[in-house]
Structure 1
Amino acid sequence: MTILTDKHKKKTAAPRKISTAFLLLFIVITNPLAAYGSNANVPEPGKTQETTQESVQQESQPDTPEAQKEDQLHVLPAADPDLAQIPDQNEPVYEPVSHTQDTFFYRKTLKGIYSSTDLYFYVEDYWDTKYVYAKIQYDVSQLIESAASSVTFSVNDVPVQSYKLEYKDGNSQILYVKIPMDQVHTGFNSLSVSAYARLFDEQGCVDDYSDANWLSIADTSYIRCGYESRDPEHRISYYPYPFMAAYEPAGKGLVIAVSDKAASGEVAAAMNLMADLSKHTGKRNDIELCRISDLKNYQPSETILISDYNDLPSEYKDKMTKAPDSSGNAIVNFIDDSNAKPLLIITSNDDSSLMEAADMLMDENRRKQETGNLAVIEKGSGQLAVNAAKQSDMTAWNYTLEDIMGSGLSYVGPFHQEKYIYLPVSKDFVLAQGGKAVLKFRYSENLDFKRSLITVFWGDVPCASKRLSQEKASGDELTFEMPGDVTGTSASSLKITFDLELPDLLCTPRQSDMPWAYVSRESAIFLPPAADITLSFDSRVSPFSRNGKFNDVLLILSDEPTSVELNLLGQILAMYGEEAKPYGTILVKRAGEFNGKEGDYNIITAGTRNGNAFISQINNNLAFKFAQDGASFESNEQLVLSREYAGKIGIMQLLKSPYSLNRGMLVLTGSNDETLKNLLDYLRDSSKREELKKDCVIIDASQNITALKFIKDEEGKEGPTLAEKLVRNRRSLVFTAIATSAMFLMLLAVIIILLRMRSYRKKNEE
């Protein structure tokens, strides 16, 4: 946007001082992003423009401690090979502990004279950690010179150990790294591996062949934490511990129970917590859902009980520290049951408040404030967070490197260097048109600028590149829009690579001569999400989850839901809520309560035709319809079912909702409880969930699956209907209508002004 100086403003001022105001109004309305400029920083998500301007003022100040810290990142962290030690091949010995947690890694390969990678491990706040060490199995190139090569390990950016690198007759090698406990903190920790590898042959140094000096870390490498579990002390802030713990990753023994009435608010809250707790399960999910009267059938080791206070049995009321009042507030009380096992009671006199209590438990910032065993959640308190989330959505998808990583990206060493930015997007993310990146970076001046460049990748697809130049070494910029061929695709990371070529690379370069590059923390990325839905099990979350939250999900239960039905819905919510953030939308209705006119939701239902009246209602919409007696399924044009087989299978079917455009429906059906249990057992295994494909899956008694596709691709369509366009582009249409109206009013005002000016001139001429 052209900025007018005071001098220019005086020259271009219009009669009656109206044109300037109209011009500014026209610019703001027709291009609301123009105020930032084409190369301006994109505002941080959730911040107002005032806050962003304030941060810009701070950035313009002289060198800050943070800036000095960035400059220090250019120093090569690898140790002098002469000072490195022989690798420690003996596993450390510590005092026995009750629990250990191993974090394994994908295979990683480091190439070049200098290269590094980060391995991450997590320490829970309820761990009393006694020791941490790493076992690294690795291979190195046979061409490296051991006298001039080393590997350095750093914990949270603090170097802790350096070892020599040496080729061992093609055999894999193992080394151990003891990690100092004073460098380990609660939450994510990083173990950085920095390799400094030189190449020699019979004729001397051959470092120019940079792909030949490599170090490969095997996927059998791991970091082991040994710990004792802390006493939870009935503190709500420790949730989900002890109800979920790393030493019982399947959640076996945990039961989430609702009252025998199974009111809508109780089931919605239970499903929300089921999805949240399932994030902590490993290969299998053994968490159970049931009614209170069925608890005796499970003998739980931990219980979460969600109930309207009026429907809560007296044996639980008597144990509570405090009862809810008539204001509609919810109570969360962490106590012990009659068997001295952990019990979390969530109750209220208002059914709708139970979901707010579940959201509080899922919201770490709110939960950590509850250091006692009793929490009172005021009715409507969650709405503040919901409104904040909606406001954030309006400016979301604008990120800086500081938002994502807390700092910039540092590159040290010659030749090809690459770093990954792991994007803070949910698994349901698909890039819409209009994505943009503004990268600000600087680099050393000792490069061969004819051969040095920066390249950016969307996943593994190259998007943009730029040659480096000596004139801009102290401050360069790469601005680009995401190319059209990556629109409509997803990626979990951006890869930024530098090729830092030196004109005359000596065989033993000094550390001070090492080339470097730094991508500033102010670099910004704009990633708008696409709004279209995908009805396929290949897409694990669409359309039932969006931005990591449940997306207008309506669960339709039978009028008398069974434990099998509740568990089946719980497991499917666990699958679609892999990221399960709070403040999503889950509603629950009985089949007899459902009104098709209120069906503007993504619907999930489960049960049999004879048990769930809603399934009977939509039978004609199913790819595999029930026979008239409801005891088996009918064949269709894609698969002929034998009579016996048709009565022993469970089917999961995705279809377009018949009640609303651009909505989906998932139906989990079987002819009886036994076939539903087969579906349930299948979904408990996370590895089997990965086998789900297409939009219809048949699961037999042996848990063999048959995947079929019934929903036709829309590639051949001429375009969406007018109604579909209205549904998909509601926000854009509203904005367009407002902008068009404003432009019309401005045009009308200009015409009136011109007419008045013409009339005024005529009078003067007369």
Structure 2
Amino acid sequence: MATLTKKHNKKISLSVKISVGCMVMLLIITIFPLGAYGSNTVAPVTGESTEIPDTQETTAENQADQNISQEAAAEGVDFLPVVDPESASVPDQSEPEYQPVSHTQDTFFYRKTLKGIYSSTELYFYAQDYWDTKYVYACIQYDVSQLIESSSSSVTFSINDVPIQSYKLEYKDGNSQILYVKIPLEQVHAGFNTFAISAYARLYDEQGCVDDYSDANWLSISDASYVRCGYESKDPEHRISYYPYPFMSTYNTTGKGLVIAVSDDMAPGEVAAAMNIMADLSSDTKEKNDIQVCRLSDLRNFNPSRTILIADYNSLPSEYKNKITNAPDTSGNTIVTFSDDMNGNPLLIITSLEDVSLSEGAFMLMDQSRRIQEVGSVAEVEKGSAQLAADAVKQSDMAALSYTLEDISGNGMLYVGPFHQEKNIYLPVSKGFKLAEGGKIVLKFRYSENLDFNRSLITIYWGEVPVASKRLNKENASGDELTFEMPSDVIGTSATNLKVSFDLEIPDLICSPRQSDMPWAYISKDSTIFLPNTTDITLSFDSKVSPFNRNGAFNDVMLVLSDTPNTNELNLLGQAIAMYGNEAKPYGSIIVRRASDFNEEDADYNIIAAGTLQSNAFISRINDSLAFKFSPDGTSFESNEQLILSRDYAGKIGIIQLLKSPYSLNRGLLVLTGNSENILTNLQNCLRDSSKREELTKDCAIIDPDKTVTTLQFIRTEETKGGPTLAEKMIRNKKSLIFTAVATTAMFLMLIAVIIILLRIRMYRKKNEE
């Protein structure tokens, strides 16, 4: 009996242990549910092209000969030339004379100081494919060190790695100097061109060479320096591939005379496509945006010199249908036709039998890789092609925010010469980019073996903030690597460039080193940069991007129009879209709803609404959420705790405000409103002026009749920058919470079971004792 009791007790003890073990496991899972509230671990980027290697592999390329010239040839990289100063020319100080042209385009330098025996800088200028370029030249305003030797110093200019001119450098009584460089047209091509300046400057003193101990051998390039292109504009020949020319051009940077029109029906697909086109073309406007958006019946009021018409085919008047040689069919495809209007002015028509397909045509025009294929005047865009293209973009390295140096600049980066040298990698990130956790950089590089390795190193900066460095060593000269994750103090910050500097120190530097003896370093073009973008939204006009634009494309934007929108409302929405869609990429998401069709159950969008309290019922719906609410009669705004409004002033102002959306978490709401059409026009004109847009800060702006801007902050900073609240996290992770609830219930039931078992053991033992 005792043996049976012991066995029974052991079974009970085993059951208790199993139960307790299960309870502990369930408790652990409950406390740390898989994916319950996100993770600090960044998911790996899939696809071979986006992998970031963690190992240091030495390839055949890394074993190349250390001779600097051979190294450059193996990589297809040319050294900027150093010309014997004695054979260099005297600087040409006379501006070149050419036949007059209709247009000129100047690209200015940033102020730059070149230091050391050998140093260089570059300027990129863009030549449009519709330019008939007649001449190109550079005007360089510069200063040189008083200590340089004119007999042993020169500057060489190159265009697209081809040397074109060398001049002597000479100090001139402390005065700034100007020289001109004629650039051969045969070396200039459509697209980006590189104009490089390479300086060779030497110093001497009584004891001999002091170049290796001094920063006094410098050449300073003024920001008044520029490259000028003189050109005539080509006949567009109704070629769609030339878009956005002639609708936008480098000689009309405001878009004056351009009108984007939709049919009077203003179908949602028409307005969405028009807003995408508006954002795309507004990227080319400078100080002012004069592009108009209107209903077709109002087109003549603007007397357009160029028109883009977007409409359902059945809504087109016959005069425009007659311009379309290839009418759309029932497939839902979109037809894009480039012709002339009745006055002989450029006319682009985007039409389809399904208004939801019209954005397909807009996206094709916005996507250069697709647009350049359309060399004729008519293009048929298949329904669904935008989704295919969007999916391809999402899978690409650039969309994944993973780049190689080749993706960014087309080649590697070469450093030549002793001492400190730095170059910038300009990042192809959107304006609203902010670095998230998990950013990683892998630089592959090599360098000459004639360095003083006790003093030579590489340093990387996030903008101007140093983030990593490594000392160079002779053993790894043929193939070195620096791999690091971005430090925590730069998470949540933005930068437009990575600066990579080398300190290439040489022992016993001689006074007249040959170029082939100079120290060098080369960063391989397969170096990788992974920069994830934060998902947090910023509800502030200081951003000018978040939350309506993400990674350069529209981020789930819903435009809520009044039931009978007019041209004034369309134009105001167009200017808001232009502000947030500057440099917008194709394949973003914009949908359009009428106020009467708005459904808060289907409002998981970033919303933009414009109008008066009377015209747009949606404004009336959210009036209580506004910082400055409309008075009951809708004729003025009411005061609040931050600003007391006089009765007269409150009836003359317009309000532009950002709010947290009351319909969805982590979404924003932009409202542009006033009590009359005149006030809406004033808001519109204010947004057209780039200087006025820059005055918009914080989250609420009051615009008075004189366009004076007053800004106020109503959203607490921690609400927008601190990420989602606990309640928001709980709602976002419903599945995890359900799992947690089930696990907790199971744990509770197991606990009850354990208690029952323990009570039974106690009762059983008490019975045996009796």
Q: Shorter-chain-normalised TM-score: which range?
A: 0.7 to 0.9
CA RMSD of aligned residues (A): 2.8
> CA separation of 1:67/1:588 partners in 2, compared to 1, >3 Å: closer, same or farther?
farther
Q: How does 1:116-135 map to 2 (within 5 A)?
A: 116-135=120-139
- 1:7 counterpart residue number: none
CA contact (8 A) 1:137 1:221 kept: yes
Question: CA, structure 1 residues 583+68, in 2 after alignment: closer, same or farther (shift >3 Å)?
Answer: same
- SS of residue in 1 equivalent to 2:451: coil
Query: Who is 1:252 aligned against?
Result: 256
Is the 8 Å Cα contact of residues 314 and 353 (structure 2) preserved in structure 1?
A: yes
* Residue 166, structure 1, aligned to residue 173, structure 2: no
2:391 maps to 1:387: yes
| Aligned partner of 1:235 among 233, 236, 239 | 239
TM-score by length of 1: 0.86
1:420 is aligned, of 403, 420, 424, to 424
C-alpha spacing 1:108/1:586, structure 2 compared with 1 (3 Å)? same
Residue of 521, 546, 550 corresponding to 2:554: 550
Report the Cα offset of residue 400 of structure 1: 1.2
Aligned to 2:326: 322
Distance change >3 Å, CA 367–CA 529, structure 1 → 2: same
Distance of 1:196 and 1:92 partners within structure 2: 25
Q: CA deviation at 1:450?
A: 0.8
Cα distance in 2 for partners of 1:103, 1:276 equals 22
Equivalent of 2:405 in 401, 405, 425: 401
1:245/1:141 Cα in 2 relative to 1: closer, same or farther (>3 Å)?
A: same
Q: Could you tell me which residue of structure 1 aligns to residue 638 of structure 2? A: 634
Please state if 1:457 is matched with 2:457. no
Residue 92 (structure 1) aligned with residue 96 (structure 2): yes
- After TM superposition, list the pairs within 5 Å mapping 1:432-451 onto structure 2: 432-451=436-455
Residues 444 and 728 (structure 1), Cα distance of their counterparts in 2 relative to 1, 3 Å cut: farther
How many Å apart are 1:328 and its aligned residue?
Answer: 1.2
Aligned to 1:279: 283
Deviations 1:339-365 (A, max 9, x none): 011111111110111011100111111
Q: Give the aligned partner of residue 594 of structure 1.
A: 598
Instruction: Give 1:211 deviation, angstroms.
Output: 2.9
Offset of residue 727 of structure 1: 6.7
Secondary structure of residue in 1 paired with 2:380: strand
Shift of 1:717: 10
Q: 1:340 to 1:166 in 2, by over 3 A?
A: same
Question: Structure 2 CA distance, aligned partners of 1:294 and 1:419?
Answer: 52
Contact 1:113-1:210 within 8 A present in 2 as well: no
Q: Could you tell me which amino acid in structure 1 is paired with residue 273 of structure 2?
A: A
Q: What is the CA-CA distance between 1:507 and the residue it aligns to? A: 2.1
The 1:201–1:48 alpha-carbon spacing in structure 2 relative to 1, beyond 3 Å, is: closer
SS of alignment partner, residue 82 of structure 1: helix
Paired AA for residue 96 in structure 1: P
| Partner of residue 621, structure 1 | 625
Kindly indicate whether residue 342 of structure 2 is the aligned counterpart of residue 338 of structure 1: yes
Moved >6 Å (runs of 4+):
42-46, 56-67, 715-719, 727-731
Pick the aligned partner of 1:492 from 493, 496, 502.
496
CA distance in 2 between counterparts of 1:682 and 1:701 reads: 10
Summarize the Cα distance change of 1:43–1:190 in structure 2 as closer, same or farther, 3 Å threshold.
farther
Relative to structure 1, the CA distance from residue 505 to residue 62 in structure 2 (aligned partners, 3 Å threshold; closer, same or farther) is closer
Which amino acid in 1 is paired with 2:157? F
- Separation in structure 1 between the aligned mates of residue 202 and residue 397 of structure 2, nearest angstrom: 49
Q: Which residue of 1 aligns with 2:83?
A: 79
Q: 2:129–2:191: 8 Å Cα contact kept in structure 1?
A: yes
Q: Does 1:269 align with 2:278?
A: no
Q: Which amino acid aligns with 1:386?
A: A
Q: Which residue of 2 aligns with 1:138?
A: 142
Q: 1:102 to 1:447 in 2, by over 3 A?
A: same
Is 2:157 the counterpart of 1:156? no
Q: Within the alignment, does 1:305 sit opposite 2:309 as a pair?
A: yes
Report the Cα distance in structure 2 between the residues aligned to 1:720 and 1:513, rounded to whole angstroms.
Answer: 58
- Secondary structure at the aligned position of 2:212 is classed as coil
In structure 2, relative to structure 1, the CA distance for the partners of 1:729 and 1:536 (3 Å cut) is: farther
Change (3 A) 1:590 1:125: same
Aligned pair partner of 1:609 in 599, 602, 613: 613
SS of aligned partner of 1:600:
coil
- The residue type equivalent to 1:215 in the other structure is L
SS at match of 1:212: coil
Cα separation, 1, equivalents of 2:312 and 2:70: 52
Greater displacement, 58-67 / 238-247:
58-67
Mapped to 2, the partners of 1:99 and 1:279 lie a distance apart of 20
Deviation for aligned residue 1:728: 6.7
Counterpart-to-counterpart distance in 2, 1:155 and 1:730: 59
Structure 1 equivalent of residue 752 of structure 2: none
Instruction: Please state how far the C-alpha of 1:486 moved relative to its aligned partner.
Output: 0.3
Q: Residue type matched to 2:481 in 1? A: E
The residue type equivalent to 2:438 in the other structure is G
Equivalent pairs, count = 695
Query: 1:113, CA displacement in angstroms?
Result: 1.8
Structure 1 residues 66 and 315, CA gap change in structure 2 (3 angstroms): farther
- Residue 683 (structure 2) pairs with residue 679 (structure 1): yes
Larger radius of gyration: 2
By how many angstroms is 1:45 displaced? 7.4
Deviation at 1:640, TM superposition (A): 0.9
The answer on 1:217 being equivalent to 2:216 is no
Determine the structure 2 residue equivalent to 1:106: 110
State how 1:353-364 maps to structure 2 within 5 Å.
Answer: 353-364=357-368
Q: Which amino acid is the alignment partner of residue 152 of structure 2?
A: A
Aligned partners of 1:496, 1:220: CA distance in 2, in Å? 26
Q: Distance in 2 between matches of 1:638 and 1:269?
A: 39
Query: Whose relative contact order is higher, 1 or 2, with alpha carbons under 8 Å and at least 6 apart?
Result: 2
User: What secondary structure does 2:135 align onto?
Assistant: strand
Matching of residue 468 in structure 1 with residue 478 in structure 2: no
Corresponding residue of 2:353: 349
Q: Is the CA contact 1:444–1:517 (under 8 Å) kept in the aligned structure 2?
A: yes
Deviation at 1:647, TM superposition (A): 1.2
The change in CA–CA distance for 1:730 and 1:97 in structure 2 (over 3 A counts) is: farther
TM value normalised by structure 2: 0.86
The amino acid across from 1:104 in the alignment is F
1:697 is the counterpart of 2:698: no
Provide the rounded CA distance (Å) in 2 between the counterparts of 1:717 and 1:189: 40
Name 2:766's counterpart in structure 1. Answer: none
Q: Counterpart of 2:641 in structure 1: which amino acid?
A: E
Instruction: Identify the residue that residue 752 of structure 1 maps to in structure 2.
Output: none
Shift of 1:687: 2.4
Report the equivalent of 1:756: none
Aligned-pair identity (%): 69
Name structure 2 gaps, 5 residues minimum: 1-33, 36-41, 744-770
Partner SS for 2:468: strand
In structure 1, the residue corresponding to 2:695 is in which secondary structure? Answer: coil
Q: Rate the CA distance shift 1:74–1:286 in 2: closer, same or farther, 3 A.
A: closer
* Partner amino acid, structure 1, of 2:684: L
Q: Tell me, which stretches of 5 or more residues in structure 1 are unaligned? A: 1-29, 32-37, 741-766
2:615 alignment partner, SS class: coil
- Larger deviation, residues 101-110 vs 451-460: 101-110
Q: Secondary structure at the match of 1:410?
A: strand
Amino acid at match of 1:118: E
Name the SS for the 2:309 alignment partner: strand
Letter in 1 for 2:697: K
Write the distance in 2 (CA, Å) between the matches of 1:574 and 1:367. 21
1:410 maps onto 2:414 in alignment: yes
Which residue of structure 2 lines up, in the alignment, with residue 519 of structure 1?
523
Q: For residue 46 of structure 1, report the CA deviation from its aligned partner.
A: 8.4
Give, as a single letter, the amino acid of the residue that structure 1 aligns with 2:258: L
Counterpart-to-counterpart distance in 2, 1:220 and 1:100: 16
Closer/same/farther in 2, CA of residues 716 and 76 from structure 1, 3 Å limit: closer
